[in-house]
């Protein structure tokens, strides 16, 4: 018999502290999953790697994805670095960030992402689909660079 429990300390929107058994998703949401006893071994998620085209964001994991049609954003992951290529009209910007990856999440410590450290949690990760969560929203991405990914859709 194996006993395993993860506890996450989250700060709610009202400033109160919440302890929970799953990663923090938003300031006003708390879920406690305490699981003791035998359970099937789960295959750990791989570290994020490669290029991903941002399709848009949603308020819930499987909700409607809203896309800004004027903006194209490619996320490129390596073990300790994330690069974003953002194109809006004729303007093209590239931003490089150092990240700390662990299985199932990555942390960016940069003022551009919320004036400090931001932890992104991987909610879905397959060969073709990546969904990450931070700020109480879900960001939906598809494999490949945006100009290539958009041709496939």
Separation between Cα atoms, residue 129 and residue 47, nearest integer Å: 14
> Which pLDDT score, from 0 to 100, does residue 4 have?
45
Cα→Cα distances 113→18, 45, 99, 134, 136, Å: 23, 24, 12, 10, 13
Beta-bridged to residue 50, according to DSSP, are 77
Q: What totals of helices (H) and strands (E) does the chain contain, helices first?
A: 1, 10
Q: What confidence tens digit (pLDDT) does each residue in 16-44 have?
A: 777 666 677 665 444 444 555 555 555 55
CA end-to-end distance (rounded Å), the chain: 47
pTM > 0.75: no
Q: What confidence tens digit (pLDDT) does each residue in 77-104 have?
A: 988 899 999 999 889 999 988 888 888 8
> 56-87 b/e with 16+ CB inside 10 Å = b?
bbbeeeeeeeeeeeeebbbbbbeeeebeebbb
């Amino acid at each position: 018999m194996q006993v395993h429990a993860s506890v996450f300390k989250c700060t709610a929107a009202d400033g109160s502290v919440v302890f929970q058994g799953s990663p923090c998703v938003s300031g006003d949401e708390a879920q406690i999953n305490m699981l003791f006893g035998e359970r099937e071994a789960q295959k750990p998620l791989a570290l994020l790697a490669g290029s991903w085209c941002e399709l848009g964001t949603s308020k819930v994991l499987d909700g409607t994805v809203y896309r800004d049609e004027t903006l194209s954003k490619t996320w490129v992951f390596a073990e300790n670095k994330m690069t974003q290529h953002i194109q809006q009209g004729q303007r093209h910007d590239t931003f490089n960030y150092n990240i700390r990856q662990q299985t199932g999440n990555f942390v960016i410590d940069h003022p551009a992402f919320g004036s400090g450290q931001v932890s992104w949690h991987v909610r879905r990760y397959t060969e073709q689909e990546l969904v990450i969560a931070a700020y109480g929203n879900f960001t939906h991405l598809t494999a490949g660079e945006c100009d290539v990914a958009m041709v496939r859709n």
